[in-house]
């Protein structure tokens, strides 16, 4: 597979290799793609949750919890 990077991204990849964080450019690209995949999965989950919320509102299921209570409940779920 071949692809092109802008000069700015080429410089960034080189800096990462030169800093010792990665052994070569392929490692930098693989790590970037892994992080991008994680981001996309989180974004997909967030969109799903938003859609559930919209559906709940449309069905009349509305929480009276305060924003602080909602945040605390979310933190508790994450463990």
**For residue range 14-71, what is the model confidence (pLDDT) as tens digits?**
999 999 999 999 999 999 999 999 999 999 999 999 999 999 999 999 888 999 999 9
pLDDT exceeds cutoff 80 at 79:
no
Q: Who's near 63: CB < 8 A, 6+ residues apart? A: 70
CA 47 to chain centre: 12
Among 44, 2, 48, 43, smallest CA distance to 26 is for 2
CB-based contact 13:28 (threshold 8 Å): yes
Q: What is the 8-class DSSP label of residue 1?
A: -
| Domain ranges for the chain | 7-78
> What is the rounded distance in angstroms from the CA atom of residue 73 to the CA atom of residue 21?
37
Does pTM surpass 0.75?
Answer: no
29: tokens are 């690209």
């Amino acid at each position: 597979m071949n692809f092109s990077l802008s000069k700015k991204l080429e410089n960034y990849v080189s800096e990462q290799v030169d800093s010792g964080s990665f052994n070569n450019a392929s490692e930098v690209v693989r790590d970037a793609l892994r992080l991008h995949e994680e981001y996309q999965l989180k974004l997909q989950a967030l969109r799903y949750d938003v859609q559930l919320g919209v559906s709940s509102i449309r069905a009349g299921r509305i929480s009276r919890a305060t924003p602080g209570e909602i945040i605390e409940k979310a933190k508790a779920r994450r463990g």
